Amino acid sequence: MNNAATDVTTTAQNAAAPYSGAGTDRLALDAVYEIAKTFATAADPIDVVPDILNVLSSFLDLRHAVLALLAEPGAEHGGGVNPYTIAATAFVHDKDADPAEVIPDEVARIVFRSGVPLVSFDLAEEFGPEAVPQRLRGEGQTLVAVPLRDPERSHFVLGVLCAYRSHEDRRAGHSDLDVRVLTMVASLLEQALRFRRRIAKDRERALEDTRRLLQTVREQNGHKVKPVSLEGIIGDSQAIAEVVAQVKRVAPTRTPVLLRGESGTGKELFARAVHTQSDRARKPFVRVNCAALSETLLESELFGHEKGSFTGANALKKGRFELADGGTLFLDEIGEISPTFQSKLLRVLQEGEFERVGGTRTMKVDVRLVAATNRDLEDAVAKGEFRADLYFRICVVPILLPPLRERKGDIRPLAQLFLDKFNDTNGTNVRFAADAFETICKCNFPGNVRELENCVNRAAALSDGEIVLGDELACQQGSCLSAELWRLQEGSSPIGGLAIGRAVTPSVRASAPPPAAPPVERDRGYADPADSFPRRKTANTAREELIAAMEEAGWVQAKAARLLGMTPRQVAYALQKHGIEVRRI
């Protein structure tokens, strides 16, 4: 602990005597004062959070405090299944351990989803003995958890701050005071993070201006830097340049290529680039989406079939292997084919020969294979879901396509390309204002290039004039759900093929934090919410949706809470807030 934290501890010890009993409020005020001073002088607010948590312990006996934050895209953390990481603790813990061993997983998820403070007066009784962290078992514990909101978007919860109080120290009024103090600490941290982000934005803007100035000077001196452009692949980032260099090196060979990357990174575009840069460029380029066909149809599609081989086979049909003879066959989503068909495909790749469905004549072909997947094939091989011999046959030269968030310098030229295409297609002359480009370039785009194209087309189509302003973008209108995608995922289950990384799209619009909500006591009868309503409900739930849930539940608050993904106390607070009178049936 640094000297400042030591001084704070000494201050708390000296103050404890005169402030005992009725002086608890003054101790809380002193604690908040010390915490505010620490945040005001911190270069990185997260780095001083352990000292802040020790202040809570010294002044108010709030022990074993923890700060959990949403995991960064692609970040590895304990167990790999929790969407959050442990950013700071008031105690020493194993950083490689599962976050659920530090903060109860169910508590963290409830606060992340609801955005409302939660109080559990008996953690073991209400959540089960296994929910109590190992270090706290054996003694009764009250848990208080409050949300940490995104400084740029107050409705978005990016963290959970929680602390414990022993049952030996459960004096009257402590829970309400604990919630107020932790909420104030979370608010101070939010303001510190907002200030830090603004400084970072100014620094990025200065670096960008410097880069553009240097580029202008080079161009004036005749040293124009040419962006990478290969068969429609646009970008000047180092990440995309390395991929293009790999494509150019491997294209002239006959070696099979496996394109790996998240959904929307342009795997088919790179597959075409491999084909056009090879000596097979004048031969066919044939594409098959393996995930779109059943095993029977896929066999017929790839190998062809003889007339009368099955019901509906009224004529001979050549398969994609035959059609791609001398050229390139692109097998998209190859990780989705069944184990039975994997063995049939392996023979073709090894021997270069096959028989049509219902035929006996062996066909020989010369095909260059390019495959693509967003699955973890190594994990599939380990689980027996994908044949190891087929894996080694297709994964000779793996090329990993970088997600768009790792090459943000390419977002602007890509956005301009998509905007030009929109104008050409629709006969319009829509342009983006500078602040619109700035907003787009700050997004992480979990859907990658495909999502960027959708974003540009949506903004251009809905624009009131020829110039799209930053405030007209979906993320500024509250209608962009990309930032919420990964929050809706349970464990490691991907949404829509976003299987490698999960991203949070930051917004650039700042808003004041909402008023603190009252603490929520955990309801013992709480169950997982039904699928008929989303799980992100808070006390800000729309009046109409709240009434609809109450009517479906027969005006039983506990049942409505399960439907909305809330606790009964949250529902009661929302009813009171909207002035809804509970009907008696």
Same domain, 250 and 394: yes
CA atoms of 158 and 150, how far apart (whole Å):
6
Compute CA distances 554 → 452, 526, 536, whole Å: 44, 17, 22
Identify the domain boundary among 377, 400, 423.
Answer: 400
Assess if residue 413 is contained within a domain.
yes
Same domain, 465 and 539: no
Which string of DSSP letters, residue by residue, matches 70-87? EPPTT---GGGT-SEEEE
In DSSP terms, 397 is beta-bridged to 257
Same domain, 414 and 469: yes
CA atoms of 363 and 361, how far apart (whole Å):
6
Least Cα distance to 481 among 505, 512, 456 occurs for 505
CATH number assigned to the domain comprising residue 441: 1.10.8.60
Assess if residue 516 is contained within a domain.
no
Q: Which two tokens stand for residue 99?
A: 């976050």
Which H or E run includes 182? helix 174-220
- Identity (one letter) of the amino acid at 112? F
Which three-class secondary structure string do you get for 503-542? Answer: CCCCCCCCCCCCCCCCCEECCCCCCCCCCCCCCCCCCCCC
Q: Which two tokens stand for residue 79?
A: 């167990």
Rounded (5°) CA angle 263-268-274: 130
The 10 Å Cβ neighbour count of residue 352 is: 13
The confidence score (pLDDT) of residue 270 equals 92
The confidence score (pLDDT) of residue 235 equals 78
What string of pLDDT tens digits covers the 585 residues of the chain?
444 444 444 444 444 444 444 467 777 787 788 888 877 777 777 788 888 888 887 787 788 888 888 775 444 444 445 677 787 787 776 766 777 777 888 888 888 887 788 888 877 778 877 777 777 776 777 888 888 887 666 667 888 888 888 776 655 456 778 888 888 888 888 888 777 777 766 776 777 677 667 766 766 665 544 555 566 788 778 888 888 889 999 999 999 999 998 888 889 999 999 999 999 999 999 999 998 888 888 888 899 888 877 777 788 888 899 999 999 999 999 999 988 889 888 888 888 888 888 888 888 889 999 999 998 888 888 888 899 999 999 999 999 999 888 888 888 889 998 999 999 999 889 999 888 888 888 888 888 888 899 899 988 988 878 888 888 888 777 667 665 554 444 444 444 444 433 333 333 333 333 334 444 444 433 333 333 333 444 444 467 788 888 888 888 887 888 777 777 777 777 787 777 888 776
Residues in the chain: 585
Phi first, then psi, for residue 316 (nearest 5°) are -70, 140
pTM assigned to the model: 0.51
Q: Which residues contact 533 (CB under 8 A, 6 or more apart)?
A: 545, 549, 563, 564, 565
Same domain, 271 and 295: yes
Rounded (5°) CA angle 558-559-562: 90
Half-sphere exposure of 404 (CA within 13 A, CB side): 31
Total structural domains in the chain?
4
Same domain, 531 and 395: no
Q: Which residues contact 275 (CB under 8 A, 6 or more apart)?
A: 251, 281, 285, 327, 328, 330, 368, 370
Assess if residue 209 is contained within a domain.
no
CATH number assigned to the domain comprising residue 34: 3.30.450.40
Same domain, 372 and 412: no
Assess if residue 148 is contained within a domain.
yes
The 10 Å Cβ neighbour count of residue 343 is: 12
Same domain, 371 and 412: no
Identify the domain boundary among 400, 423, 453.
Answer: 400
Identify the domain boundary among 381, 400, 419.
Answer: 400
Same domain, 151 and 28: yes
The confidence score (pLDDT) of residue 227 equals 52
The confidence score (pLDDT) of residue 524 equals 35
CA atoms of 511 and 171, how far apart (whole Å):
37
Of the chain, the end-to-end C-alpha distance in Å amounts to 59
3-state SS, residue 147: strand
The confidence score (pLDDT) of residue 398 equals 92
- Residue 232 φ/ψ region, left for φ over 0, alpha for ψ in the -120 to 50 degree band, beta for the rest: left
Assess if residue 219 is contained within a domain.
no
Assess if residue 505 is contained within a domain.
no
CA atoms of 320 and 309, how far apart (whole Å):
17
Strands (E), 217-374: 228-230, 233-235, 257-260, 285-289, 304-305, 317-318, 328-332, 353-355, 362-364, 368-373
CA atoms of 18 and 497, how far apart (whole Å):
61
- Yes or no: say if 147 and 116 are a contact pair by the CB < 8 Å rule: yes
The confidence score (pLDDT) of residue 10 equals 45
- Yes or no: say if 111 and 68 are a contact pair by the CB < 8 Å rule: no
Least Cα distance to 98 among 62, 56, 134, 73 occurs for 134
Assess if residue 425 is contained within a domain.
yes
Phi first, then psi, for residue 203 (nearest 5°) are -65, -45
Domain of residue 342 covers 230-400
Same domain, 100 and 248: no
Pairing of strands 368-373, 328-332: parallel
CA atoms of 69 and 86, how far apart (whole Å):
6
CA atoms of 546 and 552, how far apart (whole Å):
10
Assess if residue 246 is contained within a domain.
yes
Least Cα distance to 437 among 467, 480, 478 occurs for 467
Q: Which two tokens stand for residue 247?
A: 């494509």
Which long-range contacts link 28-31 to residues 24+ away (Cβ below 8 Å)? 28/59, 28/60, 28/177, 28/180, 28/181, 30/59, 31/55, 31/56, 31/58, 31/59, 31/60, 31/181
- Yes or no: say if 498 and 489 are a contact pair by the CB < 8 Å rule: no
Q: Which residues contact 271 (CB under 8 A, 6 or more apart)?
A: 257, 259, 285, 287, 328, 330, 332, 370, 372
Same domain, 286 and 340: yes
Compute CA distances 346 → 173, 349, 353, 377, 543, whole Å: 70, 5, 10, 16, 58
CATH number assigned to the domain comprising residue 338: 3.40.50.300
Helices (H), 41-122: 49-60, 105-114
Same domain, 234 and 171: no
Q: What is the dihedral of CA 108, 109, 114, 117, to 10 degrees?
A: -10
Which three-class secondary structure string do you get for 282-300? Answer: CCCEEEEEHHHCCHHHHHH
Q: Which residues contact 373 (CB under 8 A, 6 or more apart)?
A: 258, 259, 260, 333, 334, 335, 336
Same domain, 476 and 570: no
